[in-house]
Structure 1
Amino acid sequence: MIRVLVVEDDFRVARVHAEFTERVAGFQVVGTAHSAAEARDLIVSSNPDLVLLDNYLPDCSGIALLADLDVDAIMLTAAADAASVRAALSAGALNYLVKPFTAEQLADRLSAYARYHARLSPTGGQVGQDEIDRAIRLLHEGDRPGAPKGQSAVTSRLVQDALRAADGPRSAAEIAAELGIARATAQRYLAGLAQDGKARMTLRYGASGRPEHQYEAPGG
């Protein structure tokens, strides 16, 4: 079991990231920290294998914290500028995922990390160059660009057109009702468009506190 610490200043987003992580087989969330100081304490007490790290923390940037950590980390942050990405990778981040993202996008990267972790176990011995190269490839197998295979170009265009014509963000349920397709189908196409940069995803929190994905045309 891979032990995960979620470091995120927004408690609602932290809960979402923890829920996303717990859905992936082989992963267990052992703690949630809302500041760099709390993260340092929990790393000592809970001994995680992996930290899911936001950059915008109240007492220290996540990148600055990352540079001091002796544990694997994946950045989950809204910081999308090139300088932040380069700084995070230089500080040791194994991957970088820009918020907001879907549960599937995080699951892809976690599953890839699990294969990398198994290949280069912290308790393993000497490895050859071929093993190192394979481990690095495994680490980024989850970085899937574009929409999933098997989608219809016609349906994709209809979903895009519906987003462009909308007067605000739309949920998968709303797009499904408008186009007369299944909600799961609408969600799949919307997620694919978001991954391809053809739609922008945000989160809307309802009365229950559980977030709902919303989508709109870029620049909308």
Structure 2
Amino acid sequence: MADDFRVLIVDDDFHVAKLHAAYVDSVAGFLALAPVGTASLALQAIHSLRPDLVLLDVYLPDASGLDLLQQLDVDTIILSAASDTASVRVAFRRGALGYLLKPFTAESLSQQLRSYARYRRLLGQPGALDQDGVERAKRALIPGDVTPSSKPRSATEAAVLESLAPGEQYSAAEVAARVGVSRATAQRYLSSLADDGAVDIQLRYGTTGRPEHRYGLPAR
């Protein structure tokens, strides 16, 4: 869909890159671009495709991913088997937003991507941030470390949240019908609740193959 975050995977192992692309495509709001396997191809793809996010391996055949990282002006998360402390420090020093050690599960990457989506939504709101807003954006990048906002919920926002039953997933249209508001209103409040970590967003494919965003309470 047009508003999906477009993700470029940079990994020289074709099978691993294909698997990670499938992981990305399974997360609501994300679309995997065709993976590339070298630093030079990554630079070309970033220049031509303008991805929102790069998932970058450290070990590439023509350059270190960490050296490539300092050349990139795009949000980047490291996906690598490089577990030495020096690599991790360099990655964060050069601007990586996250570091996920291989091998990892689809759910681990899904959590990282959902955290990134919360981060982008928080920084996509109009107006300047106060310090609390900056801290919330920083925390949003850490899976499972989202602190709910202390601001009071409006009656409609509370009703949207209360319409979600534990263990169930709903479309925005279903939530709208349960609460008695328009779909656009339900969508707006669901996105706000997702920013706070009060709601999780999943992706489900219907019988037509068209992906649908589903909303539910986070597993505790």
Q: Please state which band the TM-score falls in when normalised by the shorter chain.
A: 0.5 to 0.7
How far is the alpha carbon of 1:107 from its aligned partner? Answer: 0.4
Residue segments in structure 2 that go unaligned for 5+ positions in a row? 147-220
Give the corresponding residue for 1:110: 113
Alignment of 1:48-127 (within 5 A): 48-121=51-124, 125-127=127-129
Tell me the amino acid that sits aligned with residue 19 of structure 1.
A
Q: Distance in 2 between matches of 1:24 and 1:112?
A: 11
1:143 Cα deviation after fit: 7.0
Query: 1:19-30 maps to which residues of 2 (within 5 A)?
Result: 19-30=22-33
Counterpart of 1:46, as a letter, is L
Residue identity in the other structure for 2:82: A
Q: Which amino acid aligns with 1:138?
A: A
Q: How far does the alpha carbon of each residue in 1:114-137 deviate from its partner, in whole angstroms, 9 at most, with x for none?
A: 00011113x855222111110011
Q: Are positions 1:7 and 2:48 aligned together?
A: no
SS at match of 1:5: strand
Aligned CA RMSD, in angstroms, stands at 1.6
**Is contact 1:109-1:142 (8 Å) kept?**
no
> How far does residue 33 in structure 1 lie from its aligned partner after superposition?
1.0
Q: Partners of 1:92 and 1:125 in 2: how far apart?
A: 24
Offset at residue 36 of structure 1 (A) = 0.3
Q: In structure 2, what is the Cα distance between the partners aligned to 1:125 and 1:17?
A: 35
The match for 1:140 is 142
Q: Secondary structure at the residue paired with 2:61?
A: coil
Q: Specify whether residues 142 and 10 from structure 1 end up closer, same or farther in structure 2 by C-alpha distance, changes over 3 A only.
A: farther
The runs of 5 or more residues in structure 1 that have no matched partner are: 145-220
Which of residues 126, 129, 132 in structure 1 aligns to 2:131? Answer: 129
- Structure 1 contact 108–143 (Cα < 8 Å) conserved: no
Q: Cα distance, 1:46 vs. partner?
A: 0.8
Q: 1:143 to 1:76 in 2, by over 3 A?
A: farther
Secondary structure of the residue aligned to 1:13 is helix
Structure 1 stretches of at least 4 aligned residues deviating more than 6 Å after TM superposition: none
Deviations 1:148-193 (A, max 9, x none): xxxxxxxxxxxxxxxxxxxxxxxxxxxxxxxxxxxxxxxxxxxxxx
| In 2: Cα distance, 1:49 partner to 1:68 partner | 16
- 1:55 and 1:61 in contact (8 A); partners too: yes
Among all aligned residue pairs of Structure 1 and Structure 2, give the percentage whose two residues are the same amino acid: 52
Is the CA contact (8 Å cut-off) linking 2:139 and 2:145 kept in structure 1? no
In the aligned structure 2, how far is the partner of 1:77 from the partner of 1:50?
16
